[in-house]
Structure 1
């Protein structure tokens, strides 16, 4: 079976990006023991990632690069904020350090993460961009399995595992 909408895909991947010097940097991987398993075509994956996988089948190898714009977007210069230190100290918490990734929540209860870029006398500066924003993403791997999604998976909008039986 070829990868197409409403199929469940299990694959391995290695993700690399480049640093400021242009050298490849390993980011993460999924291997045969812990593959990435997802329901294709329901918007859970980056659209261009899925586009590059369209039509592949079990055993096929792949390798492609997504531009920053096709990945997590370019860096938004407006997505930086200064938060008062009291946000962290009022609840008895510790102050974050530069380089930490901290959990935040907006006024609607949506949770997201921000990277700490600086610690000042009264504020903590954070970057609200996705950690992969502004970076090209280089993927390579192997398609381990492609199968039709079950009715439960289609109703729930996600895969239930490589074999369709990892329920919830």
Structure 2
């Protein structure tokens, strides 16, 4: 069976930056619904179209094809007193504009702690980076009608995912 619309694809993968440094070693395979469901970056989906189990592809993604350009406006400096006592670089907090709606919330990472200030960054850690995504198709199966209707893969051990 080949990779086609409305098929469930399993790939082993790893991601490097353009200098060859590993940014995601792909410890767990990616399982996604193929065919424009936004389960994987479109350029990767396009490269996998028509491939069979055992075939590999390598795709270079520019920032706008992956995690977006770096947005300096998503960096904020906040008073240290507004955070829990136990605070470390790398911790994440959800936040957003006071006048924003539910969809405006962003996950902010703590990137620096200095004296009475905390630096928060709402950019994805890989924003602004060109990436090289290398993968091998390890399984292809037809999606169920329910998976197609819901627009994502249903995992057998995750029965309550859509309920």
Q: Same fold (TM over 0.5)?
A: yes
1:29 corresponding residue in structure 2: 25
TM-score of the superposition, structure 2-length normalised? 0.81
1:105-151 CA-to-partner distances (Å, cap 9, x unmatched) read 33655664323333244321112111110111111121011121001
Question: Secondary structure at 1:78's aligned position in 2?
Answer: helix
TM-score of the superposition, structure 1-length normalised? 0.78
Distance in 2 separating the partners of 1:56 and 1:101: 39
Gap regions ≥5 residues in structure 1: none
1:58 corresponding residue in structure 2: 53
Count of residues paired in the alignment: 154
Gap regions ≥5 residues in structure 2: none
**Is the aligned partner of 1:143 residue 2:133?**
no
CA contact 1:3–1:9 (8 Å) conserved in 2: yes
Two-structure CA RMSD over aligned residues (Å): 2.2
CA contact 1:59–1:143 (8 Å) conserved in 2: yes
2:123 corresponding residue in structure 1: 129
**Is the aligned partner of 1:75 residue 2:95?**
no
Distance in 2 separating the partners of 1:37 and 1:67: 23
2:107 corresponding residue in structure 1: 113
